[in-house]
Amino acid sequence: MRNIKVALAGNPNSGKSTIFNALTGSRQHVGNWPGKTVEHKFGHFSHNGHRIEVTDLPGAYSLTAFSEEESITRDYILKEKADIVVAVVDASNLERNLYLVTQILELQARLILALNMSDKAEKLGYEIDMDDLSDLLAGVPVIRMVAIRGEGIEELRDTVVSFAEQLIGADTVST
């Protein structure tokens, strides 16, 4: 069994902590205000023979580090070298959320995009073509999610493991 290090990154109130709780079975308090997670939280789960270590990073709008949260998030992504970064975005505010995603991609991070709150975006009349979005982001896997209802959690687990198995073939996953 190999350890896979995954970091959850995204804007405040994008659902990172909800996804963290769903993945790990933790009960981290979920707040509805920016700055709720001001330090990173750790948890883990096992899936298909792999142990996945998950870090819930503080919400950040960018990696430019104007706030303590952004500094913690930037430093973790740069220095800790997670095997995979899951960028959690609020699908109803996609443009604002994609700024951070593009910055993470510029760091050459291995990325999965969790398109959270997809139900809210659909109610607002937004149609997001996940294949086109993936193509625009250099082939990054995109997963439709409504984390508060558990939708997309299993697909995210499967995608993390599948992505990690590709990395194992390249022998670049944490041991």
Comparing 150 with 36, the larger pLDDT belongs to 150
| pTM as predicted | 0.89
Structure tokens at 52: 């996945």
20 has pLDDT over 50: yes
What is the percent of the chain with per-residue pLDDT over 90, rounded to a whole number? 66
The per-residue DSSP string of 70-103 comes to HHHHHHIIIII--SEEEEEEEGGGHHHHHHHHHH
Nearest by Cα to 108 from 53, 71, 69, 63:
63
12 has pLDDT over 80: yes
Q: Count of CB atoms within 10 A of residue 76's CB?
A: 18
pLDDT digits (tens, 9 = 90+) for 101-153: 999 999 988 999 999 999 999 999 999 999 999 999 999 999 999 999 999 99
Q: Which domains does the chain have, with CATH numbers?
A: 3-169 (3.40.50.300)
Q: Report the C-alpha dihedral over residues 88, 93, 132, 148, rounded to 10 degrees.
A: 50
| Contact call for residues 9 and 16 (beta carbons, < 8 A) | yes
pLDDT digits (tens, 9 = 90+) for 58-87: 899 999 878 888 888 888 898 888 999 999
